[in-house]
Amino acid sequence: MNGVEKLATGAGVRITGTSSADAVVCVDGGSGRDRPGDWSATIEWLVRQLAPAFPDRSFLEVRYRTKSWRLLESCIDDGRAAVALAVERGASRCILIGFSMGGAVAVAAAGAPAVTTVIGLAPWLPDQLDVAGLDGKRLAILHGALDRPLPGIPGVSAASSRLAFERIRARGVDASYALIAGGVHGAAVRGPGGGLVRLPRAGRWASLVAGELRRG
């Protein structure tokens, strides 16, 4: 794993792997309040599992300037800046992985010519989100069957991402949807000491994401 670099927007990016023609740009979820960006536990855990299996790809994890649903456009700008950096370093094809609110960020950033695929992990895809950037691209949505918002615990219902999937597929977008039995909101959380704690069905999340990466 390489060190943290700064994107053109001022956001942080952590790059695993060497520059290559294929890049995987990963964007995190958000928060109901404005707070400094941090590293996604789910994204970090998945990158640790996937990077060794895909040594010919670089993985870029984005740390937003401010991690907030209320500042979605700022997060989208950070995601677009990460795609631009990957292209600047030689990537001709980019896959975007978006977890939770990162699903909206990834869809909004999908219009970049280098982007071929968006993988939404328990994605938040509100009705007002412009999905035109997905035209001519591929979308894969993965969602935990038990995911839902709970008091004090973030979540996105699978029913909501299914509705978004149907809306997007109606545009003619090449889209797929997979429900993970027993899955909750993501694959990992951050423990009290900062370590990663696997959530139920984490291995299934990793397996499905790996399958989508192989499809390209």
**What tens digit of pLDDT does each residue of 35-52 get?**
888 999 999 999 999 999
What CATH number is attached to the domain comprising 23? Answer: 3.40.50.1820
pLDDT value at position 82? 98
* pLDDT confidence band for 2 (50 / 70 / 90): low
pLDDT value at position 16? 96
- Of residues 113 and 150, which shows the higher confidence score? 113
pLDDT value at position 3? 77
| Tokens 């600047």, residue located | 88
Could you tell me the residue range of the domain that residue 65 belongs to? 4-215
pLDDT of 73 above 80 = yes
Rounded CA-CA distance 109/196 in Å is 28
Please give the tally of structural domains in the chain: 1
CB of 122 within 8 A of CB of 186? yes
Which pair of tokens denotes residue 164? Answer: 């978004």
pLDDT of 1 above 70 = no
State which H helix or E strand residue 138 sits in.
Answer: strand 138-144
Dihedral (C-alpha) 145, 147, 148, 151: value to the nearest 10 degrees?
140
